[in-house]
A and B are shown apart, each in its own frame.
Chain A
Amino acid sequence: QSVLTQPPSVSAAPGQKVTISCSGSTSNIGNNFVSWYQQLPGTAPKLLIYENNKRPSGIPDRFSGSKSGTSATLGITGLQTGDEADYYCGTWDSSLSAGVFGGGTKLTVL
Chain B
Amino acid sequence: QLQLQESGPGLVKPSETLSLTCTVSGGSISSSGYYWGWVRQPPGKGLEWFGSIHYRGNTYNNPSLKSRVTVSVDTSKNQFSLKLSSVTAADTAVYYCARGAVRNDAFDIWGQGTMVTVSS
Instruction: Tell me whether B111 and A44 are in contact (CB under 8 A).
Output: yes
Instruction: Tell me whether A45 and B47 are in contact (CB under 8 A).
Output: yes
Determine chain A's interface SS by DSSP, over half rule. strand
Instruction: Tell me whether B108 and A47 are in contact (CB under 8 A).
Output: yes
Chain A, Cβ-Cβ closest to B46: A104
**Which residues from B are CB-within-8-Å of A46?**
110
**Which residues from A are CB-within-8-Å of B111?**
44
Instruction: Tell me whether A101 and B104 are in contact (CB under 8 A).
Output: no
Interface membership of chain A positions 32-50, coded 1 if the CB is closer than 8 angstroms to chain B and 0 otherwise: 1101010100001111001
Instruction: Tell me whether B49 and A98 are in contact (CB under 8 A).
Output: yes
Instruction: Tell me whether B63 and A88 are in contact (CB under 8 A).
Output: no
Interface membership of chain A positions 89-110, coded 1 if the CB is closer than 8 angstroms to chain B and 0 otherwise: 0111000111111111000000
Among the listed A32, A97, A99, A102, which residue makes an inter-chain contact with B46, where contact means beta carbons less than 8 Å apart?
A102
Instruction: Tell me whether B37 and A99 are in contact (CB under 8 A).
Output: yes
Interface membership of chain A positions 45-88, coded 1 if the CB is closer than 8 angstroms to chain B and 0 otherwise: 11100110000100000000000000000000000000000101
Determine chain B's interface SS by DSSP, over half rule. strand
A: interface residue count bin? 20 to 34
Number of interface residues of B (CB under 8 A): 24
8 Å CB interface, B72-120 against A: 96, 100-101, 103-108, 110-113
B16 at the interface (CB under 8 A from A): no
State how many angstroms separate the Cβ of B102 from the closest Cβ of chain A. 11
Chain B, Cβ-Cβ closest to A97: B60
Among the listed B52, B61, B100, B110, which residue makes an inter-chain contact with A45, where contact means beta carbons less than 8 Å apart?
B110
* Interface of A toward B, CB cutoff 8 Å: 2, 32-33, 35, 37, 39, 44-47, 50-51, 56, 86, 88, 90-92, 96-104
Sample 22 A-B pairs with CB under 8 A, ordered by A number: A33-B104, A33-B106, A35-B104, A37-B107, A39-B47, A44-B96, A44-B110, A44-B111, A44-B113, A45-B39, A45-B96, A47-B107, A47-B108, A51-B103, A96-B63, A98-B49, A98-B63, A99-B52, A99-B100, A101-B39, A103-B46, A104-B46
